Amino acid sequence: MSSAGLLLAAALFFPLVLAICCLSARFRARALAVVVIAPLPALAAAVLVPEGRFAFFPAPFRLTLVLDQPGAILLGGAALLWSAAGAYAASLMARDPAAPRFAIWWLLTLTGSLGLFIVGDVVNFYLLFTLASLAAYGLIIHEQSASAHRAGVIYVGLALLGEAFLLIALVMLSAMHPDANPQIRSVVAELPASPMRDGTLALFIIGFALKMGLVPLHVWLPLAHPAAPTPASAVLSGVVVKAGVIGLIRFLPFEAGAPLWGSVLIGVGLVTAYCGVIVGIIQPRAKTVLAYSTVSQMGLLAVLLGVGLDTADPGVTNLTAYYAVHHTLVKGALFLGVGILATTGGRRLRLALLLTAVLALSLGGMPLTSGALAKLATKPLFGYGWLAGAMTLAGAGSTALMLHFLLILRRDTAGNAAGSPALGQLLPWLVVVAAAFLIPWSLYPAVSGETVSGLLQPEALWKVTWPMLLGAVAMLFVHRLPQRLGAIPEGDIIVLAQAAQPVARRFSDRIGDIDAHFRRWPVAGFVLIALAILLGGVLMLQA
């Protein structure tokens, strides 16, 4: 086995081995220390391993690891955020008696989420997807509050539903293949000719849309992310939702195309992008606003993939991964930044707020930030028609949402006493901030095929500036609306559904009372018989 293959295998197995070691009493005391180093083999693999395919173990236990450009981009950004957030967690939870348990859930979620970016066979993709989904439950409920348990129950219920859709889709996809554990690329290449193509694609889109948080399957996200500890929120929003993104990249037939399902993704993505902004902009808590921002950004990624599927353009997967890694780093830095700002005061607070503002506005496409690069790289996909206009409006909405987020931060930190955060939390945050600025610049030429000098031209700067100005105007209008904050609770659809349960129960009870009364009525049986005879006579006359 080559050194490249071994390094890629270490990216998968190293955090899993550490999680198993943390089960022992002797190792448990150092559990928080290992969460920092667990993603480092994955980070090294993303940088050093050339594109290729590596097989381990004989059939039927074969494990195939694959590194291509989308996988490498996502793996590198995710590993960096996992490591930095792990360092933040090690400092934050140094005195938490439940820290070893948290570390085990952390390492298991890390194993699953990073493994998805490099696994190349059907069975192991499903196992890693399930591991990432279910282990994240332990991160969500760590604080053991009522809101955390409620968010955890909703999350795991929807996660299991997504697993069911995905499992059925994988069985349908692999049904005609002779190999018990086929390669993903092999079965996807055969999918366009399959008689079960449309059913399989529908199940894949539903299963992965649930993980991404696309409307109306997004309800777990604004409940789970605010309930989790700050470093867990960072990786949940920055990395774990990308399991759905890499799933769509791997299993949709971009080479052959599927215009109908591409249009479905575009439609669902746009609805999600707008809903995330509309509901998020009336939320009163910073972490909830960030969660709805993630919903909106996942909608934009769905639109990108939908365009690629509609036009049979496999190159869209690289651009999607590029946009996704921008979101991974920026959103991870923003969640960690919320924790930093809570313990910072005085002049340091102003500097931290300035950095946070630049990061937040990059999601709207602030010139020279990673958001501007991501939008300029993907803009040619949309042409100059209605879709280009819709995406521009979505970008303006992101600006408005992030301005709302910054106003909440200003309100929440106004009374902070002079002080500074723990160095063990500040340094990891600064690492992610620096990565959010630098990594997209370094990747831009390879992904877009253009030089970075073009980004400095007045035309390019104006393309990303005017939607931000539009978003700022929209924000001024929205903030003048009376009784806006909290009009829709976090969790929106599912909270409203739960609120309607008593009404539905009373309605059901009333129907039951009517039915019971009707059954006691002596004429009821004769009426039913008469109706049956009448219906039979009508059918006979029509025959």
| Residue 483 clears pLDDT 80, i.e. is over it | no
The top-scoring range by mean pLDDT among 90-104, 218-232, 259-273, 377-391 is 259-273
Q: Report the C-alpha dihedral over residues 436, 439, 443, 447, rounded to 10 degrees.
A: -20
Alpha carbon distance 364, 366 (integer Å): 6
| pLDDT confidence band for 312 (50 / 70 / 90) | very high
For residue 439, which of 59, 84, 181, 27 has the smallest C-alpha distance?
84
| Residue 155 clears pLDDT 50, i.e. is over it | yes
* 3-class secondary structure per residue, 83-126: HHHHHHHHHHCCCCCCHHHHHHHHHHHHHHHHHHCCECEHHHHH
Average pLDDT value for residue range 42-58: 85
| pLDDT confidence band for 485 (50 / 70 / 90) | low
Higher confidence at residue 126 or residue 25?
A: 126
- Which pLDDT score, from 0 to 100, does residue 242 have? 95
**pLDDT tens digits for range 321-355:** 999 999 999 999 999 999 999 988 888 888 999 99
How far is CA 94 from each of CA 16, 34, 97, 99, 226, rounded to the nearest angstrom?
Answer: 22, 13, 8, 7, 21
pTM of the model: 0.88
- Which pLDDT score, from 0 to 100, does residue 4 have? 80
DSSP state letter for 380: G
- Which pLDDT score, from 0 to 100, does residue 421 have? 86
Alpha carbon distance 475, 470 (integer Å): 9
- Which pLDDT score, from 0 to 100, does residue 384 have? 81
- Which pLDDT score, from 0 to 100, does residue 201 have? 95
Cα-based angle 474, 478, 479 (whole degrees, multiple of 5): 120
**pLDDT tens digits for range 177-211:** 878 788 899 999 999 988 899 999 999 999 999 99
- Which pLDDT score, from 0 to 100, does residue 200 have? 93
Lowest mean pLDDT of 47-51, 120-124, 423-427, name the range.
Answer: 47-51
The answer to whether the bond into 216 is cis (omega within 30° of 0) is yes
Higher confidence at residue 139 or residue 26?
A: 139
Alpha carbon distance 319, 301 (integer Å): 10
- Which pLDDT score, from 0 to 100, does residue 60 have? 66
Q: What share of the chain has pLDDT > 90, as a percent?
A: 60
As a whole number, the mean pLDDT across the chain is: 86
* In the chain, where the domains are located: 3-497, 500-542
Lowest mean pLDDT of 215-224, 408-417, 523-532, name the range.
Answer: 523-532
Lowest mean pLDDT of 121-130, 144-153, 484-493, name the range.
Answer: 484-493
Alpha carbon distance 150, 227 (integer Å): 9
